[in-house]
Structure formats: C-alpha cells, structure tokens
C-alpha cells in the first residue's frame, strides 16, 4: 500500500469514526436507560450493564454511591438512586468506572476481569493478556498525547475494517494497522495521527 492510500484510509476512517466511535467502543455495553420516579432516578438496565462488563452489580453500585455521595439500591435488575441524575451525569460516571475498573489499560478492550495478586487487585485482559494494578487516578492521567507519531506500542487487533485493515483502540485513539489478523498482538510504530485515528505499521 502506498502512503497516498494510507492517507485516504485515514481520511475515510476519520469520517466514519467521528460518527461511530462511541458505539464501536461500547460495542457490547448497553446504553443506560434512566427513568425519573419522584425524587429518585431508576437505571432500568443496571444489572444488564454490570453483567455485560462481568462485574458484580453491588460492587458497581458501591462506586456510584461513593461518586454521587448518596444512597443507591440494587432492586431486581434496576439501580435506584436517591436523587435526580441526568443521563449525562450518569454516563460520565459510568465512563469513569469503565476506564478505571473495566477497560484494559493496554488495548482498551472491555473484556477483562479483576483478580487478586497478593493484596493488590489487578485488571487482567482476556483480549490481549495485559495485566495492570487498578489505578483510580487513571482517568486523570489519560492524555491524548500518549499516542505519538514515531513511537512504538504493543496492541491487540480487535477487529478488521472494511478495507481489510486491522483496528484497535489505544488511549482513546483508533489505531489502524494494515496487514494483520483479528486477535493478533503486534508491536507497531505510529506513522501518522489525525484527529482520533492513527495509522501504524507492524514492526514485529
Ligand atoms: Zn488488553
């Protein structure tokens, strides 16, 4: 592939991604369905969400209780929050939970589990095998400069795009890697970054 066709791929990718990044990233995670009931907010599919991310609903509920500083209750499949919460407020908190406790710190896959390593809880990724101690300040340390042109990263290809290019996520970027297979873990060098996408070549 010539550099021109990479450019084109990158342009196409930016167009597609600006519209669909969110849904791609949350592929399997249901969008929270919120309902107001008097002074309470009900998250109707709360247990569906915690099931999908393979986390205990009571643990997830505890996070929201702490973050919102207010009583919450798991009731059947629902979460009851004892005040009005906007969709945006809830989604932002959920996003924070996913970043800290669910998504792989390497490849961003939500397919992870929390395991104890001695006294430390770590996130272990089922997609790429990476393992990291849980870092509650992770969200604060994420910055978009972490993917840089000319730098090398180890990534696991999450899917294959329409032009046959491999795709994965890293620090919020979509990494596009030609000539790879789904599930393959490769070291890549980032060649070019544009908006939320980066073209990278396999180095090994
Ligand atoms: Zn991973």
Distance from residue 181's CA to the centre of ligand 1 (Å): 16
> Would you tell me how many other CB atoms lie within 10 Å of the CB of residue 105?
20
Q: Is residue 50 a contact partner of residue 57, using CB atoms and an 8 Å limit?
A: yes
Distance from residue 78's CA to the centre of ligand 1 (Å): 29
Give me the helices (H) in 26-167, please. Answer: 46-52, 57-68, 87-97, 138-141
Nearest to 150 by CA among 188, 118, 117, 107: 188
**Full-model pTM:** 0.58
What is the DSSP code (8-state) at residue 143?
Answer: -
Distance from residue 4's CA to the centre of ligand 1 (Å): 31
Distance from residue 160's CA to the centre of ligand 1 (Å): 16
Distance from residue 183's CA to the centre of ligand 1 (Å): 10
pLDDT, one tens digit for every residue, the chain (204 residues)? 555 666 666 666 555 444 433 334 444 688 899 999 999 999 999 999 999 999 999 999 999 999 989 999 999 999 999 999 999 999 989 988 998 999 888 888 888 999 998 888 899 999 889 999 998 777 654 444 578 889 888 888 999 999 999 999 887 788 999 999 999 989 999 999 887 889 999 997
Distance from residue 82's CA to the centre of ligand 1 (Å): 35
CA distance 97 to 147: 22
HEC string of 157-189?
CCEECCCCCEEEEECCEEEEECCCCCCCEEEEE
Distance from residue 184's CA to the centre of ligand 1 (Å): 11
CA distance 175 to 188: 10
Distance from residue 75's CA to the centre of ligand 1 (Å): 32
Fold designation for 29-102: Defensin A-like (3.30.30)
Tokens coding 88: 């945006």
Tokens coding 173: 């970027």
Distance from residue 35's CA to the centre of ligand 1 (Å): 34
């Amino acid at each position: 592939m010539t550099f021109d066709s990479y450019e084109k791929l990158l342009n196409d990718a930016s167009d597609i991604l600006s519209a669909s990044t969110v849904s791609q990233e949350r592929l399997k995670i249901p969008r929270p369905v919120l309902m107001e009931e008097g002074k309470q907010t009900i998250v109707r599919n709360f247990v569906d969400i915690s099931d999908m991310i393979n986390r205990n609903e009571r643990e997830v509920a505890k996070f929201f209780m702490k973050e919102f500083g207010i009583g919450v209750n798991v009731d059947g499949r629902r979460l009851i929050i004892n005040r009005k919460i906007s969709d945006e407020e809830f989604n932002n908190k959920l996003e924070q939970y996913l970043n800290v406790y669910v998504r792989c710190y390497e490849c961003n896959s939500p397919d992870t589990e929390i395991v104890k390593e001695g006294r430390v809880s770590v996130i272990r990724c089922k997609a790429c095998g990476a393992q990291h101690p849980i870092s509650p300040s992770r969200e604060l340390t994420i910055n978009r400069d972490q993917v840089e042109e000319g730098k090398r990263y180890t990534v696991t290809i999450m899917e294959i795009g329409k032009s046959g290019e491999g795709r994965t996520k890293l620090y919020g970027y979509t990494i596009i890697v030609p000539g790879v297979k789904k599930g393959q873990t490769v070291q890549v060098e980032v060649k070019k970054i544009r908006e939320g996408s980066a073209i990278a070549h396999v180095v090994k």
